[in-house]
């Protein structure tokens, strides 16, 4: 029997990635399906925000909860957009708006190193004193010209030098294996498998 976990996100792309990565062992439900009211993300780090979201979803559903907070950190911008990646160009900003602001802010700057960061938090219940926390990091560079039609967010501008491709040019399976989220989920799968062994 698969363990039900509520995913503290309404992002369909993210839910699809998690479902692919976690396989059939766990039944993932989005918090939207369960009418979970979103919590204010007022932490100052990816881990703090993921923990807020996971505890909130667990509290409102009575289920174990998984939350991630992830984003793009650009060295030349002091780590921005960072935890504000989804709303870099303002509340309700589209991916195109955020990408446009990013390229604008990097105008004239030669140093383009960046990384995607993912903090994944799993709580067994809302007051879980020992949440499972896994983090992944994916290094790359920012390019002005968008490339590729896969992925979402900043993927079309996130260039991986060793592959000579942007994240949005990679097939989903390859991206899921290499990405910040893929790296964090790989750790999480190991932790969950030892915690919830097959019977």
Query: Are the C-beta atoms of residues 5 and 15 closer than 8 Å to each other?
Result: no
Q: Does 95 qualify as catalytic in the annotation? A: no
Identify the three-state secondary structure at position 118.
strand
Q: From CA 45, how far away is CA 57, in angstroms rounded? A: 19
Tokens of 59: 């509290």
CA 18-88-80 angle, to 5 degrees, is: 90
What's the rounded Cα separation, in Å, for the pair 134 and 151? 22
Candidates 69, 95, 97, 128; catalytic one: 69
Structure tokens at 17: 């990635």
The dihedral built from the CA positions of residue 43, 47, 49 and 51, taken in this order, carries a sign that is negative
Q: List b or e across 67-97, with b for residues whose CB sees 16 or more CB atoms inside 10 angstroms.
A: bbbbbbbbeebeebbbbebbebbeeebebee
Residues with a known catalytic role? 69
């Amino acid at each position: 029997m698969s363990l039900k976990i509520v995913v503290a996100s309404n992002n369909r792309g993210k839910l699809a990635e998690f479902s692919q990565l976690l396989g059939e062992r766990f039944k993932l439900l989005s918090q939207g399906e369960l009418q979970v009211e979103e919590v204010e993300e007022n932490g100052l780090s990816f881990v703090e925000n993921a923990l807020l979201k996971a505890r909130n979803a667990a509290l409102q559903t009575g289920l174990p909860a998984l939350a991630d907070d992830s984003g793009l950190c650009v060295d030349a911008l002091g780590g921005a957009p960072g935890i504000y990646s989804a709303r870099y160009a303002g509340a309700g900003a589209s991916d195109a708006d955020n990408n446009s602001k990013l390229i604008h802010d990097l105008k004239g700057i030669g140093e383009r190193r960046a990384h995607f960061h993912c903090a994944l938090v799993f709580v067994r219940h809302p007051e879980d004193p020992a949440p499972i926390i896994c983090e992944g990091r994916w290094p790359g560079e920012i390019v002005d010209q968008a490339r590729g039609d896969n992925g979402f967010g900043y993927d079309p501008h996130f260039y991986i030098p060793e592959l000579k491709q942007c994240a949005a040019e990679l097939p989903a399976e390859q991206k899921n294996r290499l990405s910040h989220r893929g790296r964090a989920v790989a750790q999480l799968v190991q932790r969950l498998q030892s915690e919830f062994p097959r019977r």
